């Protein structure tokens, strides 16, 4: 499995789908540079496919580049000090090189996003209704009462009762869970084909977050919307994702169908994540094991495995040249791992 | 909303009471007491005693304060030494000029400052931004009266484009029903008079409005820059809203909230700056009246003027606070 | 516990929070950033020039600021720049350059005295309010509100008018304006610090209240005070000029105070505009110096901008 130095071993593409993928990301890199010339590579060659109607999870700690990947794909990172490389295709169209006007027409209509903190993500001086109707005006040409009625329907569909009255509320008058429901209603307003949810439940209480996840799961199933769920929480993906990609320090380190990932995690980082989460399928007595060190103890990928400084399965080959992302077992299993000393299957 | 306004109004009471005590003590603390201030070199023991009795200085302090408050409640600030007219009447006659000047000045500052700050904030480090930064810095660093001299020298003395003194050409004799000369000209249908009054306002308004302009530009720039990084702006972008909708509805509306507060706070600067500006341009308002009162040690006018201007300042800030409630739903609700 | 409790445990890095040592780190950091900021360099250079001129005025000035050279003086004639008098002579035949140079002394003196006086009283009030809270806080803040209810120049005018036309009155007048500003600033900053997590952590470890305030809260609250102090020096120069213009400065015409020199030129602006330019330029440059330095300090000390 180890690549010889000097021989370039090409990464396999995670989540490769048969037929045309809805979203096709190839070798995406994002580099931030600040004024004093320090540059940070937040995303370092990410490739992945999302099939129409599927649910894909991207898991990683904060700083692993999972959010930046999605923002970069939609051109939401701004222009100052950001450099984006590689390609992102949506339904065959290149999002990274699309003229700005066209990209704006795609955003909100074809691809929608939900963000982490529903309080700060909603405009505080506009009513909830206005924030929903403006998207209907923009992409659906609905105006006045028509737009208002449709907005009320949308609120109803995300489980907000008394919706006509609620349209006149301001974000600060709603609870956290309600606000996230509004965000979901806004995202689904134009029946997009892809929904990207970036940590949609992190800012919410545990019980509320379960409700929101269930709502998301039902809605995407009902509308055949593809969902990319970005989270730091394996518990969130366990319940709903078809495919899971685990990111560390800007690269995908493991990728597998959900069952395979939870049953036979290969990357020491993935097993570390799993061991640090309480699980229903383990005996109660099993201790939770934190991963030693912090995400800032990394190695640049060019010098070997970024996780090596924190890894308990580190071997001399971990350092030196970057490990490639390769298949575990047969190609049909679609299980990839980026490790020279993977965890043996149980 | 009403409750919010009423509560803000109630908060005013202790401040106004405190102010009145401060100004009351101001007169008590005058060197040698008001009798020396009032009589100066004409003071004789008999006259001083008469003044002391007239001002009730022979009575206990709390009685003095009570009678002083009684007079203030009747808007009686005494008689000006310079003009021998009641201070209240003098203020009433001159205040419209100052309001007119301050309004023009803040209009100048807002009309130029907000768009300039907005462009600078949307394009940081562009030439517009750099120019506005240097300009604001200069605007803040030049003393108001020095800028007044400069403008007067350039545009009135050297170029002769605009009048540099007074409120209106002395040859114009129209009615002044409101005391606001531009408005008076419009009301009486005398358009040349209104135009002339407006021309007289330009230089003093620019001089007085420059510091507010610099401050409003900087605050707008900072607010636009900060708002541009807010999550809800990213949401609007993610919703695919057009650039102009993102800019107007999501960035500008939120960025203007702090700017409104700042505009309110400029009132104090305008009122005290008017004392300097009006003197430079011999603009017959409350400010030049106060300045001449300072030169002649006309203490009833200084005392009444300071109390009056402070009350105006406090009330304007109250109005700004309340109007803030109208534009920010979060304040309205809390 | 549910599944969603999450990998935060794994991700949790030990965040120890700010302590006194980190406050020192804040200033070290700030200094490092200041050296790279062009704003700070220009501001510091102007301030250094201003202070240098003020301190070494007797060595730098070619003449005494009060020496009168009447050889070329006739009514309405103002000898312009010449070899002997690089900036010309003023209306009384005194060397303008020497007066500008000595003027720096008075501006610096007014600035420093009014700042220290105002800051000491203001900070004491703010410390009192911020440290004790409760009714002490209420009382102090009402007093501050009342002082802030009078526009600052108006307050200075009132105080200066009360004390009579002397240099000391100008200093006290500007100091009075500074009092409520510093009091409110320190109190607000201390309140925020007191509510911060590290203060809570220190209290939970059994550190006494006085110790927390003195060792942790106060040093961490000082950053905005330093910024305001620099800006207050700029304001002092501007306000002193305004007071001089209104005849509230020193009554002694021999004192070469910039604001007064500028105000006096009003009478002969048309015949000798340059005499207005020099003190005007001196004021603008020194104010800009303090202002730029203050802005640079604000940026350097702002923890939000630390990376």
Lowest mean pLDDT among B208-217, C81-90, C201-210, C271-280: C81-90
Q: What is the pLDDT of residue B54?
A: 67
> Closest Cα of chain C to A331: distance in Å?
30
Query: Residue for token digits 């308002």?
Result: B285
**Maximum alpha-carbon separation in chain A:** 68
Higher pLDDT, A247 or C146: A247
Within 159-178 of A, beta carbons closer than 8 Å to B belong to 170, 172-173
Q: For chain B, how big is the Rg over CA atoms in Å?
A: 24
Query: Which candidate from C151, C266, C291 shows the least CB-CB separation from B137?
Result: C291
Instruction: Tell me whether A332 touches chain C (CB under 8 Å).
Output: no
Residue C90 lies in a domain: no
Instruction: Tell me whether A74 touches chain B (CB under 8 Å).
Output: yes
Q: What is the pLDDT of residue C121?
A: 93
What sign does the CA torsion over B121, B122, B123, B127 have?
negative
B31 — pLDDT class (breaks 50, 70, 90): low
Query: Which candidate from A71, A134, A172 shows the least CB-CB separation from B330?
Result: A172
Q: What is the pLDDT of residue C24?
A: 63
Asked if A36's CB is within 8 angstroms of C11's CB, the reply is no
Report whether pLDDT(C4) > 50: no
Residue C300 lies in a domain: yes
Determine the average pLDDT of the residues in C279-298.
88
Asked if A272's CB is within 8 angstroms of C3's CB, the reply is no
For residue B251, give the chain A residue with the closest CA: A123
Query: Which candidate from A76, A104, A126 shows the least CB-CB separation from B234?
Result: A76
Asked if B239's CB is within 8 angstroms of A112's CB, the reply is yes
Instruction: Tell me whether A285 touches chain C (CB under 8 Å).
Output: no
pLDDT tens, chain A, 346 aa long: 443 444 456 777 787 777 788 999 999 999 888 765 678 888 888 888 999 889 999 998 887 888 898 888 888 887 777 888 888 999 888 988 888 889 899 998 999 999 888 888 999 888 999 999 999 989 988 888 888 999 998 888 888 888 888 999 999 888 888 898 899 889 988 889 999 999 888 878 888 888 888 888 888 888 889 999 999 888 888 888 889 999 998 899 999 998 888 888 899 999 888 887 766 666 666 667 777 777 777 788 888 888 888 888 888 888 888 888 888 888 777 888 998 888 887 6
Report whether pLDDT(C141) > 80: yes
Subunit partners of chain B (3 or more CB pairs within 8 A): A, C
Asked if C5's CB is within 8 angstroms of A279's CB, the reply is no
Instruction: Tell me whether B249 touches chain A (CB under 8 Å).
Output: yes
Over pLDDT 90: what percentage of chain C?
6
pLDDT digits (tens, 9 = 90+) for B157-206: 888 888 878 777 777 777 777 777 777 777 777 778 788 888 889 999 99
Asked if B14's CB is within 8 angstroms of C149's CB, the reply is no
For residue C9, give the chain A residue with the closest CA: A290
Number of domains in chain C: 1
Asked if C3's CB is within 8 angstroms of A232's CB, the reply is no
pLDDT digits (tens, 9 = 90+) for B261-314: 888 888 888 888 888 899 888 888 888 888 888 777 777 788 888 888 888 888
C9 — pLDDT class (breaks 50, 70, 90): very low
Of the residues A123, A126, A228, the best mutation for testing chain B's interface (the one with the most B CB atoms within 10 Å of its CB) is: A123
Instruction: Tell me whether A37 touches chain C (CB under 8 Å).
Output: no
State how far the Cα of C253 lies from the Cα of C260, in Å rounded to an integer.
Answer: 9
Query: Which candidate from A62, A278, A295 shows the least CB-CB separation from C5?
Result: A278
Residue C75 lies in a domain: no
**Nearest to C154, CA basis, from A180, B312, B329, B253:** B312
State how far the Cα of C143 lies from the Cα of C191, in Å rounded to an integer.
Answer: 18
CA A336 to chain centre: 18
Query: Which candidate from B29, B30, B268 shows the least CB-CB separation from C152?
Result: B268
Over pLDDT 70: what percentage of chain C?
81
> Closest Cα of chain C to A263: distance in Å?
16
Angle of CA points C278, C280, C283, to nearest 5°: 110
Residue C189 lies in a domain: yes
> Which residues, 6+ apart, have CB-to-CB distance to B70 below 8 Å?
none
Q: What is the pLDDT of residue A37?
A: 62
State how far the Cα of B58 lies from the Cα of A247, in Å rounded to an integer.
Answer: 86
Instruction: Tell me whether A206 touches chain C (CB under 8 Å).
Output: yes
> Which residues, 6+ apart, have CB-to-CB distance to A51 below 8 Å?
A15, A17, A19, A21, A22, A226
Which domain, by its residues, includes C275? 25-62+95-305
Q: What are phi and psi of B292, to 5 degrees?
A: -70, -30
For residue B227, give the chain A residue with the closest CA: A123
**Nearest to A326, CA basis, from A64, A7, A9:** A9
> Closest Cα of chain B to C239: distance in Å?
8
Q: What are phi and psi of C299, to 5 degrees?
A: -65, -40
Domain ranges of chain B: 2-72, 94-333
**Is the separation of the CB atoms in C72 and C82 below 8 Å?**
no
State how far the Cα of A231 lies from the Cα of A281, in Å rounded to an integer.
Answer: 21
Asked if A139's CB is within 8 angstroms of B329's CB, the reply is no
Asked if B243's CB is within 8 angstroms of A125's CB, the reply is no
> Closest Cα of chain B to C215: distance in Å?
33
Report pTM. Answer: 0.81
For residue A137, give the chain B residue with the closest CA: B241
As a whole number of Å, the end-to-end CA separation of chain C is: 36
> Closest Cα of chain A to C142: distance in Å?
31
Report whether pLDDT(B5) > 80: no
CB atoms within 10 A of CB B45: 8
Contacts of C12 in chain A (CB under 8 A): 290
Average pLDDT, chain C: 77
Determine the average pLDDT of the residues in B125-134.
87
C3 — pLDDT class (breaks 50, 70, 90): very low
**Nearest to B309, CA basis, from A332, C153, A78, C58:** C153
Contacts of B294 in chain C (CB under 8 A): 157, 161, 246-248
Determine the average pLDDT of the residues in B51-65.
71
State how far the Cα of C57 lies from the Cα of C190, in Å rounded to an integer.
Answer: 40
For residue A138, give the chain B residue with the closest CA: B241
State how far the Cα of C296 lies from the Cα of C226, in Å rounded to an integer.
Answer: 11
Of the residues B225, B231, B240, the best mutation for testing chain A's interface (the one with the most A CB atoms within 10 Å of its CB) is: B240
**Is the separation of the CB atoms in A163 and B216 below 8 Å?**
no
Q: What is the pLDDT of residue B217?
A: 93
**Is the separation of the CB atoms in C184 and C148 below 8 Å?**
yes
Of the residues B226, B239, B324, the best mutation for testing chain A's interface (the one with the most A CB atoms within 10 Å of its CB) is: B239
Determine the average pLDDT of the residues in C247-262.
80
Query: Which candidate from B232, B239, B330 shows the least CB-CB separation from A108?
Result: B239
Instruction: Tell me whether A302 touches chain B (CB under 8 Å).
Output: no
Determine the average pLDDT of the residues in B71-76.
80
> Closest Cα of chain B to C292: distance in Å?
8
> Closest Cα of chain C to B96: distance in Å?
19
CB atoms within 10 A of CB B265: 17
For residue A108, give the chain B residue with the closest CA: B239
Within 24-83 of B, beta carbons closer than 8 Å to C belong to 26, 29-31
CATH of the domain at C238: 1.10.3720.10
Query: Which candidate from A210, A235, A291 shows the least CB-CB separation from C6?
Result: A235
Residue C12 lies in a domain: no
**Nearest to C156, CA basis, from C185, C184, C183, C179:** C179
CATH numeric code, B94-333: 1.10.3720.10
* A-C contacts (CB, under 8 Å): 60
Which residues lie across from B213 on neighbouring strands? none
Which residues lie across from A87 on neighbouring strands? A26
Q: What is the pLDDT of residue B101?
A: 92
Asked if C287's CB is within 8 angstroms of B275's CB, the reply is no
> Closest Cα of chain A to B127: distance in Å?
16
DSSP letter string, A284-338: TTPPP-PPSS-TT----GGGB-TTGGG-TT--GGGBSSPPP-EESS-GGGT-EE-
Residue C301 lies in a domain: yes
Over pLDDT 90: what percentage of chain B?
14
């Amino acid at each position: 499995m180890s690549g010889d130095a000097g021989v370039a071993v090409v990464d396999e593409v995670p989540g490769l789908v048969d037929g045309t993928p809805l979203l096709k990301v190839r070798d995406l890199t994002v580099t931030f540079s600040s004024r004093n010339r320090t540059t940070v590579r937040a995303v370092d060659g990410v490739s992945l496919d999302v099939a129409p109607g599927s649910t894909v999870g991207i898991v990683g700690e904060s700083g692993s580049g999972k959010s930046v990947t999605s923002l970069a794909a939609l051109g939401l990172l701004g222009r100052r000090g950001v450099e984006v490389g590689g390609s992102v295709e949506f339904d065959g169209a290149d999002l990274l090189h699309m003229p700005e006007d066209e990209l704006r027409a795609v955003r909100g209509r074809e691809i929608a996003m939900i963000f982490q903190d529903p309080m700060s993500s909603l405009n505080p001086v506009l009513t909830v209704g206005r924030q929903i109707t403006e998207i209907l005006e923009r992409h659906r040409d609905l105006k006045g009462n028509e737009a208002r009625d449709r907005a009320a329907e949308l609120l109803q569909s995300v489980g907000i009762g008394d919706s006509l009255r609620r349209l006149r509320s301001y974000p600060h008058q709603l609870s956290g869970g309600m606000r996230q429901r509004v965000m979901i209603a806004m995202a689904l307003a134009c029946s997009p084909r892809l929904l990207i949810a970036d940590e949609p439940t992190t800012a919410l209480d545990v019980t509320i977050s379960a409700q929101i996840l269930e709502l998301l799961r039902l809605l995407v199933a009902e509308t055949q919307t593809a969902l990319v769920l970005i989270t730091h929480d394996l518990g969130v993906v366990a319940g709903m994702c078809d495919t899971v990609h685990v990111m560390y320090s800007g690269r995908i380190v493991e990728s597998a169908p959900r069952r395979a990932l939870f049953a036979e995690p290969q990357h020491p980082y993935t097993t570390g994540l799993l061991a640090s989460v309480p699980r229903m399928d383990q005996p109660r007595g099993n201790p939770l094991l934190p991963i030693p060190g912090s995400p800032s103890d990394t190695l640049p990928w060019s010098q070997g495995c970024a996780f090596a400084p924190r890894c308990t399965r580190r071997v001399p080959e971990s350092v030196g040249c970057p490990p490639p992302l390769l298949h575990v077992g047969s190609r049909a299993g679609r299980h990839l791992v980026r490790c020279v000393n993977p965890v043996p299957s149980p | 909303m009403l409750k919010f306004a009423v509560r803000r109004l109630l908060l005013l009471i202790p401040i106004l009471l405190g102010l009145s005590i401060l100004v009351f003590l101001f007169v008590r603390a005058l060197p040698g007491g008001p009798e020396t201030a009032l009589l100066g070199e004409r003071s004789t023991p008999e006259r001083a005693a008469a003044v002391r009795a007239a001002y009730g200085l022979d009575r206990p302090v709390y009685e003095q304060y009570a009678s002083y408050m009684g007079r203030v409640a009747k808007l009686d600030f005494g008689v000006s030494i310079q003009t021998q007219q009641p201070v209240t009447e003098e203020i009433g006659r001159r205040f419209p000029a100052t309001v007119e000047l301050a309004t023009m000045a803040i209009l100048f500052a807002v009309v130029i400052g907000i768009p300039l700050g907005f462009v600078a904030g949307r394009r940081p480090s562009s030439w517009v931004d750099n120019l506005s930064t240097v300009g604001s810095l200069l605007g803040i660093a030049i003393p108001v009266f020095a800028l007044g001299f400069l403008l007067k020298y350039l545009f009135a003395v050297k170029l002769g484009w605009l009048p540099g003194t007074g409120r209106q050409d002395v040859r114009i004799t129209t009615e002044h029903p409101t005391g606001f000369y531009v408005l008076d000209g419009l009301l009486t249908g005398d358009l040349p008079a209104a135009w002339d009054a407006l021309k007289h306002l330009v230089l003093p308004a620019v001089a007085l409005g420059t510091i507010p302009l610099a401050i409003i530009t900087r605050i707008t720039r900072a607010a636009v820059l900060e708002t541009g990084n807010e999550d809800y702006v990213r949401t609007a972008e993610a919703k695919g809203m057009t650039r102009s909708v993102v800019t107007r509805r999501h960035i500008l509306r939120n960025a203007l909230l702090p700017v409104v507060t700042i505009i309110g706070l400029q009132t104090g600067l305008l009122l005290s700056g008017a004392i300097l500006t009006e003197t430079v341009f011999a603009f017959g308002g409350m400010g030049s009246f106060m300045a001449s009162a300072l030169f002649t040690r006309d203490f009833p006018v200084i005392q009444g003027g300071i109390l009056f201007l402070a009350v105006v300042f406090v009330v304007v800030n109250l109005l700004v606070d309340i109007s803030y409630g109208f534009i920010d739903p979060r304040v309205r609700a809390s | 516990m549910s599944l969603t409790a999450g990998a935060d445990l794994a991700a949790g890095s030990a965040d120890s929070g700010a302590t006194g040592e980190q406050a020192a780190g804040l200033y070290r950091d700030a200094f490092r950033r200041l050296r790279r900021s062009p704003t700070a360099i220009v501001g510091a250079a102007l301030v250094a020039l201003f202070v240098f001129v003020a301190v070494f005025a007797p060595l730098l000035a070619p003449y005494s600021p009060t020496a009168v050279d009447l050889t070329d003086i006739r009514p309405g004639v103002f000898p312009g720049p010449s070899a002997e008098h690089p900036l010309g002579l003023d209306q009384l035949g005194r060397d303008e350059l020497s007066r500008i140079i000595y003027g720096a002394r008075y501006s610096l003196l007014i600035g420093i005295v009014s700042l220290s006086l105002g800051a000491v009283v203001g900070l004491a009030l703010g410390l009192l309010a911020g440290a004790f809270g409760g009714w002490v806080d209420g009382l102090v803040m009402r007093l501050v509100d009342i002082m802030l209810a009078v526009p600052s120049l108006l307050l200075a005018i009132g105080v200066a008018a009360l004390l009579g036309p002397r240099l000391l009155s100008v200093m006290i007048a500007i100091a009075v304006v500074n009092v409520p500003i510093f009091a409110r600033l320190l109190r607000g900053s201390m309140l925020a610090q007191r509510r911060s997590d590290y203060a809570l952590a220190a209290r939970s470890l059994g550190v006494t209240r006085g110790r927390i305030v003195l060792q942790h809260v106060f040093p961490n609250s000082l950053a905005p005070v330093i910024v305001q102090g620099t800006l207050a020096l700029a304001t002092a120069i501007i306000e002193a000029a305004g007071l001089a213009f209104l005849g509230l400065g020193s009554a002694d015409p021999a004192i070469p105070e910039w604001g007064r020199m500028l105000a006096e030129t009003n009478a002969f602006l048309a015949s000798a505009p340059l005499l207005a330019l020099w003190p005007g330029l001196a004021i603008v440059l020194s104010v800009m110096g303090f202002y730029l330095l203050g802005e640079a300090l604000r940026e350097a000390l702002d923890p939000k901008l630390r990376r």
